[in-house]
Every structure is written in structure tokens, then in C-alpha cells.
Amino acid sequence: MTAKTEGSTGAPVAAATAQPAAAAAEEVRQAAARAAERSVAHLLGRQDAEGWWKGDLETNVTMDAEDLLLRQFLGILDEDTLRAAALHIRGEQREDGTWATFYGGPGELSATVEAYVALRLAGDLPDEPHMERAADWVRRHGGIAAARVFTRIWLALFGWWRWEDLPELPPEIIFLPSWFPLNIHDFGCWARQTIVPMSVVLAKRPVRPGPFALDELHTDPRCPNPPRPLAPLASWDGAFQRIDKAVRAYRRIAPRKLRRAALRSAARWIIERQENDGCWGGIQPPAVYSLIALHLLGYDLGHPVMRAGLESLDRFAVVREDGARMIEACQSPVWDTCLAVIALADAGVPADHPALVRAADWMLGEEIVRPGDWAVRRPELTPGGWAFEFHNDNYPDIDDTAEVLLALRRVKHPDPAQIEAAVRRGARWTAGMQCGDGGWGAFDADNTSPFPNRLPFCDFGEVIDPPSADVTAHVVEMLAWEGKARHPRTRRGVDWLLEHQEENGSWFGRWGVNHVYGTGAVVPALVAAGLPGSHPAIRRAVDWLASTQNEDGGWGEDLRSYREPRWVGRGASTASQTGWALLALLSAGERDSEAAERGVRWLVKSQREDGSWDEPYFTGTGFPWDFSINYHLYRQVFPLTALGRYVHGEPRPVPSSAPLPAEAAGARR
């Protein structure tokens, strides 16, 4: 009778239900706070004395193989380097004999060919079981002839492939004006830095015979270079294949004076873009091709340019405890540092904490205040940006600059005027790099030509830099923090994001995997720019995240989502991707939702005793699908940021009076 009476009023039952729910929520909050404290201690302990953070940047064994091939070509390959690199390469081989380009991914032909050749250099014999498995798989998947162009270029350097059977790329491309189709500025900066030295290599066609044959990697050794059929003339592929034939014919009639002038101009272009640390663009691939190109043009190994370049490559090596040597394709100190500062600040570390002030001082010292190649499209724009790497003054990037400014705004610096001036310059430069359609790319404005991706030469990865949702979102969020949520540039960025929402409610992730990354970036940006959590676009994103949450409470998305729709939003739970999903949910006002609570519980449960998280999966991208990255600091900074915001609430932008360029200045072109 008593139960019936209480049930009829509803009040006692509701109160009894509310109390356990409130207690459970408080339990989660306290667990999250303890996990955040452990994570803060771990992250603070990883800061360099100079103020920066940097995690390993793990890619795939082609970096290690090409490093060995470069040293073999230049005649400087030593036994210690060879042995350590081979140890790493062997350790990455899969049971079926192949090498993948990301953890848990399928075997990849070009990576397997290059790894196999590297192990042959190290003395592994073709009849050893692990080598037989690799060679058999390569033959079954088309052999060397089916590998990508860059792999076959490496093999051509040693006589394992014919130069005549590779696409042509004349060095005269250096002379094409910026308005002409397929000029070097039509390519993204990473491709531009590669094709200029590569055009020298293709013009010279050197052969330094390898110490062994590779017959076992051909489907038919009697015909190792089978002709490839032409696509229909009416198709883009067919048209560009025939253009390649015309360029091949030009090679036979190219005026010698013009060719020599092109090679000299290419050498000058390469040398002018060498960074202070000896590298090119802060990334390994352009560096190796630049060294080969300059060497072919007569620069000996003792020349200061060559010596500095080779020394810079040594700094890309990470030596493991077991002696294995892994090559980073790039290093990410600026990116890692600004993300670490945001994570620590949002987790409650005081704004004037010495670690944050040291980090701010280091970031201030990394500002780039001179023009780079980006100025070709924006000559009127005043410099003021940050790059990804230790040294890359020619190519500051928009994504890093936006996040650095968000980090600097979280620091209470003893010289606030210095912060204000740097932020003002950075915000103006970033806003001025807006593309004509309202979005932002990573390095250049309006780098959207449809032609470079059609070249037969470009069969690997993205070679242009169009606007992306993740970069645009970071810029919109930064501008909102600068008090510019109503500025026309910001509103056009918001419109671009709304127009590019996927049908399922997510956003595509260009520089992170994938829709979880894009959505985790866009939703906080839209909210910061003034959209309410009830906006239809945000509700659709919240629904999508809830629908893709794993049973264990975390989120994950496999790299195969870039090619196979069934993988979109699906994959093993990871700390970084769970962090991204939570950042979106929290900003949308879902702090008390079941999805957010389950996600926080997963982060707490999966945290290790030292306050860190483990994450073998690759959640970063260089080129979607083609080149994947495991940023080793992602697994630390993004979970901490999410836990910090769960415990302390959303960070609030600090209005600024920093002016932005006028709407007409370079915004519509």
C-alpha cells in the first residue's frame, strides 16, 4: 500500500531516482578529475627544458627504406645504420610477408617492395622464409610494374627499372608563370618541394647499378616492364597520358641551353628553400630528393648545402631501446606544444604556471615573420604565422597558426604586450589566407587546380591543398576567441562548414582520421562562433556521434573509412578519437548525456598508471589513406583536453581588439 501511494504521487520515486543519478554523475566527475590530474603530471614531465613538447611521429617503413636507398646511392651507407634500420623493418613485417602503411591495415604493394629491397641491402637472402613470403605476395599483386611511380623511380636509380618506362616531368616546369596551368604553385607545398628536385632526377636519369638483381619481384622476369594500356582519349586519364607522350617527345628535342638554364634555376630554387637546420620544408621526402638532385648537378658531399642536408636527416632518426632505428617523416614540435598547452590549461593548470610560460616563450620564438611561397597568391598579406616543425620558414601553415594563437590566449605571460602583438599578426595573416569559397586550406590560398592530380606522375597522395573542414574549423574557432565571431570572414567560414556537413551529420577529416576528427573540430568551432547547441547541424552531429559510439564507451574510426563507407565512424576505440568525440559533445551541451558519461568512463578505465594512454592505431593523416601518421602525443593531449573540459567546463574566449584585414582584401579571388 505504501509503495502504491508513493508511486501515485511520483515525487518520492523521482527523488530516489535523482539521488543515485546525481551520485553516479559525481562519481564520474571525481574519477575524471583524478585521471586528469595524473595526465597533467605525465604531460608536464615530458616537456623539454626549452619549453616544447614533441612526440614521435610514426609513419611506415618506406621512410626507412628510402633513407637506406639514398645512402646507398650516395655511397655513404654504413653497417651500423643498415643493421639498425633493418631491425626496425623486419619488426614491422606482417605474417603474410607484407608491410602495411598503418597499424592493423592491409599489406601495401609499394611499401612491401621498398621494404624488401632494403632488407636485401641488409643481407637478407631471397630464399629466407620471410623474404619468400614477401616476394610471393608482390608477384601475386602485379610485381614491381604495379607499384607506384615513386617506388619505381627509386628502383630506376639502381637499374632495377627503366627510366624510359616512367612518366616525364621536365625541369622547364620551373619557368611556367603562376597563371599558367600546372605551374609549380598549382601543387601543394609538399608536392612542390618534391617535384622540383624530382624533375632534375628525371632529366638526368642516373643509374648506379644495385648489388643484386630483383627478378623475384617481377611477375615475368623476361618482360619486367610490361606496357600499360592507354585510357580512352575522352577521359581525363587518357588526355593526360597523351600529354605525357608529348612531353616525352619534347625530351628528344628540348633546346640544350633551355634545359641547362632550367636545371640551374631548379638548383637555385632548391638551395634558396633549404632551412637553417639543413632540411627542406621540415619533412623527409623533399629532403632526400633535393640531396639527390643537387648531387647530380655537381654538388659534392662535402659542400655545405649537402653536408647540412645529410646532417638534418640524421635528426629524423629515432633509436629504440632494442637498437632499432625508425625514421620520422617529419617532426611536430610546434603542433605538439600548442596542443599540450591547450590541454593543460583546460585541465586547470594555472595560466601563469612556469611550464605554460616557458611554452609560450618558445612558441613566440618560432613565429615566422618573412614571406614564403604562400605570398605568390597573397602578395599583399603581412607575414605572421607558425609552421609545424622546428624549422620551416618557407611554409608556415594555417592550422598550426590557429592553434598556436588559441594556446597563447590561455597563458598569462609576464609580457602581455608581446603575446598581443604576436596574436594580432597571426590572426591577420590567418584571416588573409582565406580561400575564395570561404574555407581555409593548410598552407596556401586557393590551391585548388584540378589538373595536378591528373598527371600520371601523381599516383600517390594528395598534391593540391584545397580547403578542409578541420582547418577551417580551427580558424573559425580562433577568430571567435579573438572576438571576431561576427566578422564577415568568420561568417563565411561558418557558412562553408555548414555547406560541407556530410549527409550523416559528420564532417570529413582531411588531416586526422576521419569523420570523428572532422566532427570533433567543427562542432566546438561552430559553438564558439555563436551557433546554439540546438542548431540543426549540431544536433545532427551529436546524433551521429551517439550512433557511432562503441559498446565499450569509446570512439574509433579506421583509416579504411577514407575508401570504404562501411568504416565511417567505425573502428577500435582510441584515446585520441574518444577525446575528439567528447570535445564535440561537451561543446554542444551534452555534458550530462549518457554518451558523454560513457566516453569519460572509457578514458578513465583505459588510462595507464603513469597517467598516459596507449594507442597503436594511426589517427593522423598526411594524405588520406595513402600516408598515415601515428602522432604519439595525440593519445595524451586530446584525452586530457576532453577530461579537463568535462571537469572544469568549456573554456571561454577572451575578446580582443585585434583588427582583421578588410573583407575585400584577398578574400574573393
261 shares a domain with 373: no
| Close Cβ partners of 466 (under 8 Å, ≥ 6 residues apart) | 435, 439, 441, 447, 448
498 and 574 within one domain? yes
Residues 301 and 365 placed together within one structural domain of the fold: no
Compute the distance between CA of residue 463 and CA of residue 343 in angstroms, rounded to an integer. 32
Among 273, 294, 327, residue at a domain's last position? 327
Nearest to 364 by CA among 398, 415, 434: 415
Residues 6+ apart with CB under 8 A from 330: 57, 282, 283, 284, 316, 388, 389, 622
Task: Write down which residue in 327, 344, 370 finishes a domain.
Answer: 327
How many DSSP H helices and E strands does the chain contain? Answer: 23, 5
- The pLDDT value recorded for residue 399 is 98
- Domain, as residue range, for 203: 58-327
Asked whether residue 36 falls in the same domain as residue 114, the answer is no
User: What is the reported pLDDT for 4?
Assistant: 37
What total of structural domains would you count in the chain?
A: 2
Give the CATH number, domain containing residue 243. Answer: 1.50.10.20
Give burial (CB, 10 Å; 0-12/13-18/19+) of 162. middle
For residue 77, what pLDDT is reported?
A: 96
Decide if 112 is inside a domain.
Answer: yes
Q: Flag whether 515 is in a domain.
A: yes
Dist. CA 544–CA 532, nearest whole Å: 17
Whether the Cβ atoms of residue 101 and residue 627 lie closer than 8 Å to each other: yes
Residues 298 and 399 in one domain: no
In a domain, 24, yes or no: no
630's enclosing H/E stretch is: strand 627-631
Taking the C-alpha atoms of residue 353 and residue 333, their distance in angstroms, rounded to an integer, is: 20
Domain stop point among 301, 327, 353: 327
Say if residue 72 is in the same domain as residue 177.
yes
Count of C-beta atoms within a 10 Å radius of residue 120:
20
Residues 561 and 431 in one domain: yes
Say yes or no: 356 and 303 in one domain: no
Domain annotation covers residue 661: no
User: Does 215 lie in the same domain as 187?
Assistant: yes
Residue 346 annotated to the active site: no
Residues 123 and 266 in one domain: yes
Mark whether 409 and 506 lie in a shared domain. yes
* 8 A C-beta contact, residue 591 and residue 485: no
Walking along the chain (669 residues) 10 residues at a time, the average pLDDT comes out as 41 57 86 98 98 97 97 96 98 97 96 98 97 98 95 97 92 94 93 94 96 93 66 64 70 89 97 93 91 97 96 93 95 97 98 98 97 95 95 94 98 96 97 98 95 79 93 98 96 98 97 98 97 97 98 97 96 98 98 97 98 97 93 98 96 64 45
Q: What is the grid cell recorded at 116?
A: 624488401
Please tell me the predicted confidence (pLDDT) of residue 228: 65
The catalytic residue among 64, 399, 400, 444 is 399
